[in-house]
């Protein structure tokens, strides 16, 4: 069995999946965090690895960029491969002054300029939020970490990377929106529709209002706290 975007056999993907956007980051997470990691799918250059995380089966699969891309991979994992939980681990831009580069944000709700909520229930706006058990476990793990600054709050999941934020950012800041990225709302919508669980945990790679940013190399390496938090949420 397979799908147009995944050639793993049923049973080769674990019930819990860590999902970064970048295929190279997926390979690095699998190498750094999984024991006996095996490549089980690599369709269109999007790899999926399965191994053990703290002795429990876990997979790492990239999602690509944007709501449409993560929606494809998350839906297929939930619907055809029996995946129960997905934790997005990626990067974001910060809006608020008290959120800094290299901080971690546990995303408690996802606003979006996408049409995703309207398609879930025409005529209504659905709330896009994580699984409460995963959120609680992530917050508990964050409390146990030392040397990491962790925030909990909403993000904006945007369809537009290069869109002018001049009119959007002030309103997001007024609403205490912590960060902007491009995937979490899509993941939360898929979990809602498929009756499954999801959580997004992201690392701040740049600040939308200040001259703070990580290099491409730093973005690859600055993720241990984020993966520790997401991994704990998946195993809760």
Residue-wise pLDDT tens digits, 85-120: 999 999 999 999 999 999 999 999 999 999 887 888
Total number of domains in the chain: 1
* pLDDT of the residue at 10: 94
The answer, yes or no, to whether residue 129 has pLDDT greater than 90, is: yes
**CA–CA distance, 146 with 224 (Å, rounded to integer):** 12
Report the C-alpha gap between 54 and 185 in whole angstroms: 28
Rounded to whole angstroms, how far apart are CA atoms 41 and 134? 26
181 within some domain: yes
Tell me how far apart the alpha carbons of residues 48 and 27 are, in angstroms, rounded to a whole number.
8
| Residue at 3 is within a domain | no
- Is 4 among the domain residues? no
**5 inside domain:** no
pLDDT at 1 > cutoff 70: no
Query: What's the confidence (pLDDT) of residue 218?
Result: 63
Q: Catalytic site residues? A: 206
Q: Alpha-carbon distance 47 to 200, whole Å? A: 19
Specify if 11 maps to a domain.
no
Beta-carbon-side half-sphere exposure of residue 187 (alpha carbons within 13 Å) = 37
**pTM as predicted:** 0.94
Picking from 19, 164, 4, 22, the residue whose alpha carbon sits closest to that of residue 85 is 19
Q: Which one, of 29, 32, 27, 59, lies nearest residue 45 by Cα?
A: 27
- pLDDT tens, residue by residue, 25-77: 999 999 999 999 999 999 999 999 999 999 999 999 999 999 999 999 999 99
**Per-residue pLDDT tens over the stretch 154-205:** 999 999 887 766 678 899 999 999 999 999 999 999 999 999 999 999 999 9
Q: Tell whether 146 is covered by a domain.
A: yes
pLDDT band with cut points at 50, 70 and 90 for residue 211 = confident
Tell me, yes or no, whether 60 lies in a domain: yes
Report DSSP state, residue 179.
Answer: E
Give the length of the chain: 236
In a domain, residue 8? The reply is no
Residue 18: strand, helix, or coil: strand
> Domain residues for 102?
16-235
Place of tokens 């934790």: 87
- Give the per-residue pLDDT at 168: 87
CATH number at residue 186: 3.40.50.1580
- C-alpha distance from residue 31 to each of 24, 26, 159 (Å): 11, 9, 31
């Amino acid at each position: 069995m397979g799908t147009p975007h995944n050639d793993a056999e049923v049973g080769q993907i674990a019930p819990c999946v860590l999902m970064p956007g970048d295929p190279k980051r997926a390979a690095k997470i699998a190498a750094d965090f999984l024991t006996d990691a095996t490549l089980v799918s690599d369709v269109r250059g999007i790899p999926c690895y399965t191994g053990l995380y703290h002795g429990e089966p876990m997979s790492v699969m990239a999602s690509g960029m944007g709501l449409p891309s993560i929606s494809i991979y998350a839906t297929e994992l939930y619907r055809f491969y029996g995946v129960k939980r997905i934790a997005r681990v990626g990067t974001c831009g910060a809006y608020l002054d008290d959120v800094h580069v290299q901080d971690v944000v546990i995303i408690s709700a996802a606003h979006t300029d996408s049409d995703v909520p309207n398609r879930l229930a025409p005529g209504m706006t659905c709330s896009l939020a994580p699984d409460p058990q995963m959120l609680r476990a992530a917050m508990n793990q964050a409390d146990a970490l030392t040397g990491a600054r962790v925030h909990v709050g909403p993000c904006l999941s945007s369809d537009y990377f290069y869109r002018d934020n001049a009119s959007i950012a002030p309103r997001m800041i007024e609403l205490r929106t912590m960060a902007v990225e491009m995937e979490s709302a899509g993941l939360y919508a898929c979990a809602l529709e498929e009756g499954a669980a999801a959580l997004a945990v992201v690392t701040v790679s740049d600040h939308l209002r200040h001259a703070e940013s990580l290099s491409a190399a730093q973005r690859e390496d600055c993720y241990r706290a984020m993966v520790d938090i997401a991994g704990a949420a998946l195993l809760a």
